[in-house]
Structure formats: structure tokens, C-alpha cells
A = this chain, B = another copy of it.
Amino acid sequence: MSAPLENDILLRALAREPVPYTPIWLMRQAGRYLPEYTATRARAGSFLALAKTSALAAEVTLQPLERFPLDAAILFSDILTVPDAMGLGLYFADGEGPRFERPVRDEAAVRALTPPDPAGSLRYVLDAVREIRRALSGRVPLIGFSGSPYTLACYMVEGGGSEDFATLKRMLYSRPDLLHRILEVNAASVATYLNAQIEAGAQVVMIFDTWGGNLSAAGYIEFSLAYSRCVIAQLTRENDGRRVPVILFTKGGGQWLEAMADSGCDALGLDWSTDPAAARKRVGARVALQGNLDPLALFAPPERVRGEARRVLDAFGAAPGHVFNLGHGISQHTPVESVAALVDEVRAYSRKLRAG
């Protein structure tokens, strides 16, 4: 039996219930802009060792909560744990992004893919979830996450990050059958993985579709959204007697919000290119909205950060169903005092806004 949740404002906002202030958490809030994160990572030896050592992953997950009164913790992990558990050999070259030793590029490699058993090769993630829940002791809810089936496929086929994902696109346009097969395996894997996180204690889950925005409108529906929808349909939607909300975030997906809102998710993540008022008008009251300050606005002096925070809050308005966040992960060189100013302003100004 878990400790009762002291701060459930995130869950209430995601359920579009009235709340006294707008909850806030930040994508990549446990990250390199925090000196204590850098220290723990140095102890771990590498990013991957940090992500794979449950005790250290739990430690960094909690660090931002010690500094800022955030309304949620988000599991510290990598977006590519699932294909790594499939045996693709995830590694990080010095100062570069993620790469796979064995990218999935031909028919044989595609046929060989099978969904990993979370209790086996992903056990370190579930251990971290359990450890974080214990350490949180009901302070705030814990958000679990996964990359979307399409975003995982982007890395799996390309072998790493890319400006244009030309290898992936070549498969998409030349052999869509192969890509669909990868996406089926990914969707089954992600659903099982997220359910295991929920069973281990995740109270919210988020699907990060970082690269869905590189598709055409029709391609997005066919290759990304269809598989995120399939994941969402398979998820356990209750934990400790409360609904487990699902947040779907497609970076660059601002043109497709109506379709995304019909995916079965509870909330949409918005990047900073989307006008909040226009988004609300387009999706109506079907889903909550999360976002969407430009992460680089945090490079301004604190007083300007506060001004930008108020602009975002005003644009979303006082209607129920807004979770404050950045429009993308926080940047490495973000000044810590800007984050403090942001969290403080969102709390204070949204109280006034919601009190009318």
C-alpha cells in the first residue's frame, strides 16, 4: 500500500478539474543544468550507467524537487531503453547523441525484432520507478514515459539522431511494409513497457513523439499516430484507485492536434510554436493541454522570465486543464535562477488568474 498522494494537483489538472493554481513540471527537469545532477552523473561514470543504475536514477529524479516546488517527478531514464532491450546495442559516442550498434535496416533485421520482456532487460527501469515512489512517499505524482513507436523507429532505422532521418524516410517511401512491421513490434513493446511502469508505480504516463513532426500530414496519421493510439488503447488506466492519465506529445505536431486529441489520450503536450488559445479552440474540452514556454526563454534575466511565464499563462487562460511546462526539454546551460523564477511566477500568477 502506497502513501496517499499529498499533492494531486497535476492529476486534477489532467482530468480538467478546477485547481487553485496551475501545476508545473519541466521536461528533462532532472538534467545537466543542475550541478547536483552533473555530480551524480560523474559518480555513475556515464549517462547510460546513470540511467541503468536504479538507485542513481532515483537520486537524480528527486533532485529538482529539492530545489523547486514542482508538482510532479518524472522518471529519469532514456527514451531508447526499449530498442536497447531489443538487443540493438545503445551507446553514446563522446559528446554526441545516442547511437545503435545494430540498426534495423533490412528485412532480416526487421523480422528478428521481438518485444522485450520488461521484467527482464528493463527491470532496472521498474526498480527505479519503485525506488522513486518509495522516496517520494506521496509528495507528488510520478510520471513514467516512453518514446513513441515512430520515434523509436526513427532511431532504430537511422542508427542514431539525424537532421533529416533520410535512412528512415527511404524505408518509409520504398518499403512501408517493413516500417509498419517495426512499428507493430514497437507499439506492442511500448504498451507492455508502460504498463509495467504503471504496475511499478507510475501515476501518469507520457508518450514522447520527438520526431513525428518530420512526417507529412498523411504520414503522421499512418506511421505515428496510429501506433500511439494502439499503445494508448492497451494501457492500464488505473493505479491505487485513481485514473492514470496519458499525455501525448509530438514535437512539431501543432497542425495535427485535432487528430491527436482523438487518440484516447487525456492530454496533449504542446511545443512552443502552438498558440495556446488557438489550440484550446481546436480541441475543445476533450483533453488537457500541457506546455508551452520556449525553453530558451529561460536564458533571459529572471524578471523577463517571469514576464514570459505570465504571457503563457494568460494565453492558456483560467479554464481547467492546463499543466505548465516548457515546449521541449530544458537546455543544458539554463541558469538555475531562471528556473526558480519560472516556478515561483507560475505558482503565484496562476493563483491570481484562477481566483479570477
Instruction: Assess whether B174 is in contact with A296, with CB atoms less than 8 Å apart.
Output: no
The residues of B that contact A300 with a CB separation of less than 8 Å are 170, 173-174
The oligomer's copy count stands at: 2
Assess whether A296 is in contact with B170, with CB atoms less than 8 Å apart: yes
A185: Cβ under 8 A from any B Cβ: no
Does A311 have its Cβ within 8 Å of any Cβ on chain B?
Answer: yes
Complex Cα gap A170–B304 (Å): 11
**Distance in angstroms between the alpha carbons of A311 and B274 in the assembled complex:** 27
B169 and A299 contact, CB distance less than 8 A: yes
CB distance from A173 to the nearest CB of B (A): 4
- In the complex, A254 Cα to B254 Cα: how many Å? 8
> Secondary structure of the A side of the interface?
helix
**Does B166 contact A216, Cβ atoms closer than 8 Å?**
no
Contacts A218-B311, A252-B252, A304-B173: A166 and B331 contacting too (C-beta < 8 A)? yes
Give the one of A164, A292, A301 with max B CB within 10 A: A164
Cβ of A213 under 8 Å from chain B: yes
Cα A218 to Cα B310 in complex, Å, equals 13
Across the two chains, which residue of chain B brings its CB closest to A307? B173
Does any Cβ of B come within 8 Å of A348's Cβ?
A: no
Whether A109 is near chain B, meaning CB under 8 Å from some CB there, is: no
* Set B174, B215, B296: member contacting A273, Cβ < 8 A: B215
A78 within 8 A of B: no
